[in-house]
Amino acid sequence: MIALPFTDAIKQVASRVIWFEPAEKALADPARFLAYAMRYATHEDMKAIRAHVSDEEFRHAIDSAPPGIVDPRSWAYWNLMLGRYPAPPLPVRML
């Protein structure tokens, strides 16, 4: 997965989507950032992200999503949008 560009628009999205840490840290792990974006990003936020992320990179991010971030509804939606139906199982935490 390529690193997302550190533009003002992407920094603003990162600040809204992962509000509990600085944008620089949020963008350091693109797969984790995209997992939070799948759940919390607005349509406008996602337009800014999708300008820099291809479908293939987004599929990789879904496959690498940490467990517990993406909710079932968002998981089903994004897998469907990327042509994956039925969606694979959500990532699970191993305790």
* More confident of the two residues 28 and 93: 28
pLDDT digits (tens, 9 = 90+) for 67-77: 999 999 999 99
pLDDT digits (tens, 9 = 90+) for 8-50: 999 999 999 999 999 999 999 999 999 999 999 999 999 999 9
Instruction: Tell me how far apart the alpha carbons of residues 31 and 61 are, in angstroms, rounded to a whole number.
Output: 5
Mean pLDDT of 54-72: 93
Q: Does 2 score more than 80 pLDDT?
A: no
**Domain count for the chain:** 1
**What's the domain range around 27?**
8-81
Structural domain includes residue 89: no
Structural domain includes residue 77: yes
Structural domain includes residue 91: no
Structural domain includes residue 70: yes
Within 13 A of 69's CA, how many CA atoms are on the CB side? 20
Structural domain includes residue 57: yes
Q: Are 1 and 32 in contact (CB under 8 A)?
A: no
Instruction: Tell me how far apart the alpha carbons of residues 31 and 28 are, in angstroms, rounded to a whole number.
Output: 9
Q: pTM of the predicted model, to two decimals? A: 0.91
